[in-house]
Every structure is written in structure tokens, then in C-alpha cells.
Amino acid sequence: MSRINIRNISRTDLNLLLTFHCLMTERSATRAAAVLHVTQGAVSASLRRLRELFADELFVRTSVGMEPTRRAVEIAPMIAQTLASVTALLGEDSTFSAQDSHYIFNIALSDDLEAYLAPMLVAAVSRLKLGIRFAFHQTNSSLWKNALHDPAIDLVICSEPKDFSTSFSSLVLFSSSYSCLYRAGAFGGADQISLEDYFSADHVRISYDGRRGFIDDLFETSGQTRKVTASFTHFSGALTTLLSCDTVATIPSFAAETFAAKMALIANPVPIAVPSFRCFMVWDNAKQDKSQHAWIREFISQITKDL
């Protein structure tokens, strides 16, 4: 058995180790403060004490965040193991019961994924008579990290998350491509939009910043220019426009089929080659072993396994 130095431990605030772990994970005093539910000043004060304790700078401010020193990298695994042992000893995460719990799962996703997945999740909760609830929040593949920096967010669902890092874990839920969406009777009422009609049609663009999308690149590759009559950052305005005008939107197939099933809209293949992509579930490693988070990941995996 390892010898325990009671005197050294009694003189050390073990909360400092938690601050170290959050700084190592977040690489930002601001985000560490949010995770710990303390002020940024409190994190800075703890960092000063940590530097005295370990006689090292530990974290150095750079243009890309708080970079750990060699000493910090060396002790990080030992501190993480210590905190994991304390968590297990205290039994912080008892077995989660979705039937008895009133936990509200905060899930961030884009509104096309929300329209597709939210009805499935809510219907499954009702069918299984579970006590849990959902709160859905907006994010996208570019801004997903901002969502996970909010301690209240349990996980993110997005397509091909950009700038992925080792602070997060992910799981592929399903794959999709793109389809055309337009109102019934448009373009001569044909079963499928022709290449000529597609290139000459008025288009609506949906992108998180309302600017250029990858479809514009596909048009230019084909020597065409897309005539965009309106750009939207959310699907709601685009859908009402599609219902009232002979315009076409090129959107993820799962969303096109969802909207077509509920509205007087037609979803058909795009008459030019378009890429496929994957939709991911992403979460913070700090929540990896919490029982309620393990449960919701498995729940969503089961709901989407046949997609």
C-alpha cells in the first residue's frame, strides 16, 4: 500500500485539483469558471495557488488559449485519476432511472435535425412512459463548441463537426445526402425536377450565416450561377417561402423528406451529383461517465440506429 502523507494532504485544498483538471480540459479560464460555477477571478486565484503548490507556471496564456507546460502535462493523468477515484468513492452518480427522473436533457442541434429527430425522441419518451424531458437549443457544425461550453448543455447533434478536439467525444448516428424541396405543382408538376429546370429555377438558400453555401460551388463547377431569391438562417422562413412561390431549396435529405411528409411540398433527388455527409452526437469528455449522460447517449443511439 502506498504511504499517505496526511500532513501534506491536510494542508492542500483539493478543490485546486478540480480547477487544474478544468483548465487542462477547457484551456480557458473563462470556460473553466463556467464549468465550476465560479467567477473567472476565483479560477485565476486558484491558478496562482496551483503554481505555488507545484512550483511551475502550469498554464501559459497564448493566442489560442491556456497552453499547459511540460509539468502540467506530466501531472494531468495523476490528477484525473485522483479525481475519478474520489468521484467513485463518493458515489456521485447513482444509477439513473429515466422512469423516475424528471431530468431535463438540454440538447443543441440545428433546426433541420430538430425537425427530424425531436418528434422521434419525444414520441419514444411518451411510448415508454419515461419521466425525463427535453429542451432543444440551436447550434450547427461551426458553432457546436460554443454550445458545449455551456455547462447546462448535455450534448450536441450536428453534421460533420468542424475543429474537433480531444476534449470531446463523438458517435456517428446516421448518414445523409441532399434533396430538392419545392411545392407541389411547381416546375410543370413533373415527378422529378429536370437538370434544366434546376439550373434555371429561383433558389432559396439556408445557411447558418445566410451567406454562400456549398451548392453555389457545385453550380460554379458546372459553369452555372445559382439565382438565389432569398437567404435564410433558419428553415421556418424558407419553408413558408417554398409554399408560396415556385422556388427550390437544396437541403439535407432527412429534412426534405420530413417537411414533405408534413406539408404540400415535394422532395426529390438533386439532378446533379451531391456529396453525402454524417450526423454526429458530440459531448464533453467531462460528462463521459455521468449516469444520466450515458443513458441519453444510449437512448439516442437506439432511436437512430435504423436511420
pLDDT digits (tens, 9 = 90+) for 94-120: 578 999 899 999 999 999 999 999 999
Closest CA to 108 of 149, 138, 151: 138
Neighbours of 277 (CB within 10 A): 15
Cβ atoms 109, 156 nearer than 8 A: yes
CATH 3.40.190.10 given to domain 178-275: yes
Share of the chain above pLDDT 70, in %: 93
At the top level of CATH, the class of 6-90 is: mainly alpha
Q: What is the CATH number of domain 104-176+278-304?
A: 3.40.190.10
Predicted confidence at residue 148, as pLDDT, reads: 92
Residues 9-60: pLDDT tens digits? 556 778 899 899 989 888 888 888 887 878 889 999 999 999 999 999 999 9
Residue-wise pLDDT for 254-296, tens only, equals: 999 999 999 999 999 999 999 999 999 999 988 877 889 999 9
DSSP structural state of residue 282: E
223: left (phi over 0), alpha (psi -120 to 50) or beta: left
Neighbours of 74 (CB within 10 A): 12
Amino acid in the structure at residue 139: T
Whether residue 171 is predicted with pLDDT greater than 80 in this model: the reply is yes
Q: What are the start and end residues of each CATH 3.40.190.10 domain in the chain?
A: 104-176+278-304, 178-275
From 77-91, 140-154, 275-289, the region with the lowest mean pLDDT = 77-91
Q: Output the CA angle 90-91-97, nearest 5 degrees.
A: 155
Give 194-223 pLDDT, tens digit per residue: 999 999 999 999 988 878 888 888 888 888
- Could you tell me where in the chain the CATH 1.10.10.10 domains are found? 6-90
